[in-house]
Amino acid sequence: MAPEPPGGPPTLERVAAVAGVSRSTVSRVVNGSPKVAPAAVEAVHRAIEDLGYVPNRAARILASRRTQSIALVIPENTARFFADPFFATVVQGIAMYLADTDYTLSLLIAAEKDAEKTRRYLQAGNVDGALVLSHHSDDRSYVQLAKSIPVVFGGRPMSAEGSDAYYVDVDNVAAASDATHRLVARGRRRIATIAGPADMSAGLDRAEGWRRALEEAGMPTDLIEHGDFSPAGGEAAMRRLLERDPAIDGLFVASSLMASGALNVLRGTGRIVPRDLGLVTFDNDYAAQSSSPPLTTVEQPTVELGRRMVDVLLQRIAGHAVPIITVMPTRVIERGTE
């Protein structure tokens, strides 16, 4: 442990004495007040560095009525959180943004049985705001939470209609429609989909995009099965689709992890992509890039999505006006599997 500077531990009073300013001036500088002359700010910062002074966090919270902490809530089980690369890249974007601020991040993986405890924690003044990612149809309580503290969702909340729920998302309907149109353009005529969970907006919206593309082409929309955004879910859904119609020649899969599971089933039946079946998917992560063959996919900017979520949240905490809905762009990464 480093020795204390002569005169005892550094205090607000000692910083004031070394800087040649009042105690209240030091307090204002520490709490980020703009009402301090630049020369005084520089003197205080120099004294803080020389003395090794660490501001009292509890006192700062009392003075500013801010905790300088935000929560990232993941309403999923722990296994899914660590298995899905989507979460890792969004969290990366959040962490990169917060690195340049005084805010700290609390990660709350809130499975359904922990939801009430999580909401109590968030409403108890422990954080200044919350980010909610991967929410399901039971997200009304988190939308209601937004009446108590600033909340920003990653993805359109299922119960957002008629509310002021702030969220950052991509246009899942348009992106899925564009991806499905690629299969139509390649001459595929029996196009199925492995959709995401029916209790998540991403699952529903991507299925709707697939449906719209086929309806515009005058093609049937009966071949749909739902998975849970996991490889196992993709495998099970692919088996069900092939049992229903072995003549499937096109497939839009709502996530690359489910697509990897579907590919395992297709290989097991001797079907070759894209010779026998065209396949497009969503998310340009390792599952899409390293599969055999690498998959044509919709890329959503997950790192930037994380950055934008926390940017909107911090602006809301600061009282600034920001759009309720922020839509991020997508693009198709073509790898010839249509």
pLDDT band of 7, cuts 50, 70, 90: low
Out of 18-32, 108-122, 216-230, 316-330, least confident range: 108-122
Helical pair 302-317 and 85-98, crossing angle rounded to 10 deg: 40
**Can you tell me the distance from the alpha carbon of 329 to that of 338, in angstroms, rounded to the nearest whole number?**
22
* Percentage of the chain modeled with pLDDT above 70: 88
pLDDT at 138: 63
The model's pTM is: 0.79
Whether the per-residue pLDDT at 27 is higher than 50: the answer is yes
In this predicted model, what pLDDT tens digit does every residue of 89-138 receive, in sequence order? 999 999 999 999 989 999 998 776 667 788 888 888 889 999 999 766 66
Instruction: Specify the 3-state DSSP secondary structure of 51.
Output: helix
Predicted pLDDT of residue 283: 96
What pLDDT sits at residue 75?
A: 85
Query: In this predicted model, what pLDDT tens digit does every residue of 252-288 receive, in sequence order?
Result: 999 999 999 999 999 999 999 999 999 999 999 999 9
Our CA dihedral for 196, 199, 205, 210, rounded to 10 degrees, sits at 40
Q: Which whole-number Å values give the CA distances from 270 to 193, 224, 264, 277, in the listed order?
A: 20, 22, 10, 11
Residue 83: what pLDDT? 85
Residue-wise pLDDT for 217-254, tens only, equals 999 999 999 999 999 999 999 999 999 999 999 999 99
Instruction: Dig out the tokens for 237 from the structure.
Output: 């859904």
Mean pLDDT of 38-66: 72
Q: Are 147 and 331 in contact (CB under 8 A)?
A: no
What pLDDT, on the 0 to 100 scale, is given for residue 4?
Answer: 43
Q: What is the pLDDT of residue 3?
A: 43
Beta strands 331-333 and 296-299: pairing type? antiparallel
Distance set, CA 6 to CA 50, 52, 260 (Å) = 11, 12, 64
Structural domains of the chain ordered from first start: 12-64 (1.10.260.40), 69-170+302-332 (3.40.50.2300), 172-299 (3.40.50.2300)
pLDDT at 291 over 70: yes
